Amino acid sequence: MKTEFVKLIDVTLCTACRGCQVACKQWNEMPGLRTKQQGSYQNPPDLQWNTWTLIRFQEYAPKDGEFKWLFRKDGCMHCTDAACVKVCPSGALYHTEYGTVGINQAKCIGCKYCISACPFDVPRYNPETDKVYKCDLCYTRLQGDQQPACVKSCPTGALTIGLKDVMIKKAYARVKELGGDANVYGDKFVDGTHVIYVLGEKPEVYEHLPKSPSVPVTTMLWKDILKPLSLLSAGGVIAGSFLHYIIHGPKLPDEEQGQEPKGGE
């Protein structure tokens, strides 16, 4: 990997202006779909095939503290050991030279393997196109030496992008500055994600944020063990049959000359 980029989301700086959410839609030319008032400022209620990043609005009232809002920009984490890439049969999901996870919709066959595999519940399916959609960290913009649309639009500095080690250092420095429960989220899971958070509270406080995400065990068994085993065992059987033939020989009917001693009576 040549230049590994990391996008840092400092949720403590986010004011929920949703500039990133809008910028993402604009740059990627994704339509808005009509939604209903759900009694929350958060809109739409969840990631959608046409909404690749979303500000989650969470009302947080700790037992021994004051009520506060928690805002978190949700979206693809661009895992190094990405479960979605592991399961994608068509190569539609792939690792880019920036360490991010791109998606080539032309190749997607709509199998939805990635949806079940992703530990962050990110990819979304559009039945009309029979394809899956998610953030690609503005791959084409990165290639043109541009920042992703969300980072570009963020007025508070909550979103920044840069070289991996620089950003990780920056994240830890910020956590130290914040103190308390503040922590860095992402650099240790699934071999490190290329989107990392500075969280003001413990990870378990945030809704829809897995505490310790990992590639599902069943997914690993499937792709790393059973998949190669299917060819290995078939190959073993073919080799075994051949050996059986040349060592033991086929099971031949006994030669019987002329009439059977006993007929069909």
Partner 1 sequence: MRKGLIQATDSFERIVHWCLAVSCLILCFSGLGIMFHSLNFLGEPFGGLKSLKYIHNFTALFFILSLFFSVRMWWKEAGIFVFPEDLDWIKSAGGYLWHVDKVPEVGKYNPGQKMFFLVVALGGAAMVLSGLIMLFPLSIPAALVRLMYLIHAAGFVAIFAFFFIHLYLGTVGSPGSLPAMTTGWVTRAWLKKQHPKWLKEMEEHGTLVVYGEEKSSSHGH
From candidates 22, 111, 184, 209, binder to partner 1 by CB under 8 A? 111
Q: CA 129 to CA 121: how far, in whole Å?
A: 20
Q: Are residues 140 and 160 in contact, defined by beta-carbon separation less than 8 angstroms?
A: no
Tokens of 226: 């059973």
From candidates 98, 113, 185, 206, binder to ligand SF4 by CB under 6 A? 113
Q: Are residues 103 and 133 in contact, defined by beta-carbon separation less than 8 angstroms?
A: yes
* Residue listed under structure tokens 């394809």: 131
**Out of ligand SF4, partner 1, none, which partner does residue 241 contact, by CB within 5 to 8 A per kind?**
partner 1
Pick between residue 89 and residue 157 the one whose CB is nearest to partner 1: 89
113 carries a ligand binding annotation: no
Is residue 196 a contact residue for ligand SF4 (CB under 6 A)?
no
Residues found in the chain: 265
- Please list every residue from 125 through 184 that binds ligand SF4, using CB under 6 A: 132, 134
* Residue 240: count of CB within 10 angstroms of its CB: 11
- Of 47, 98, 48, 100, give the one whose Cα is nearest residue 72: 47
Q: Which stretch binds partner 1 (CB under 8 A): 36-44, 72-80, 154-162, 249-257?
A: 249-257
Q: CA 160 to CA 150: how far, in whole Å?
A: 9
Please give the span between the terminal C-alpha atoms of the chain, in angstroms, as a whole number: 80
- For 255, counting Cβ atoms within 10 Å of its Cβ (0-12 exposed, 13-18 middle, 19+ buried), the class is exposed
Q: Which stretch binds ligand SF4 (CB under 6 A): 56-64, 118-126, 143-151, 232-240?
A: 118-126
Q: How far are the Cα atoms of 24, 26, 121, 215 from residue 112, in angstroms, in the given order?
A: 23, 26, 12, 16
Tell me the one-letter amino acid at 155. Answer: P
Pick between residue 14 and residue 122 the one whose CB is nearest to ligand SF4: 122
Pick between residue 144 and residue 249 the one whose CB is nearest to partner 1: 249
- Please list every residue from 12 through 71 that binds ligand SF4, using CB under 6 A: none
**Out of ligand SF4, partner 1, none, which partner does residue 132 contact, by CB within 5 to 8 A per kind?**
ligand SF4
From candidates 54, 55, 87, 150, binder to ligand SF4 by CB under 6 A? 87
How does strand 195-199 pair with strand 5-10? Answer: parallel
Question: What are the binding residues?
Answer: 14, 17, 20, 24, 76, 79, 84, 88, 108, 111, 114, 118, 135, 138, 150, 154
Q: Which residues bind partner 1 (CB under 8 A)?
A: 87, 89-91, 107, 109-113, 115-117, 121, 125, 130, 216, 218-219, 221-222, 226-227, 229-230, 233-234, 236-238, 241, 244-245, 248, 250-256, 260, 264-265
Q: Which residues bind ligand SF4 (CB under 6 A)?
A: 76-79, 82-84, 87-90, 92-93, 101, 108-114, 118, 120, 122-123, 132, 134
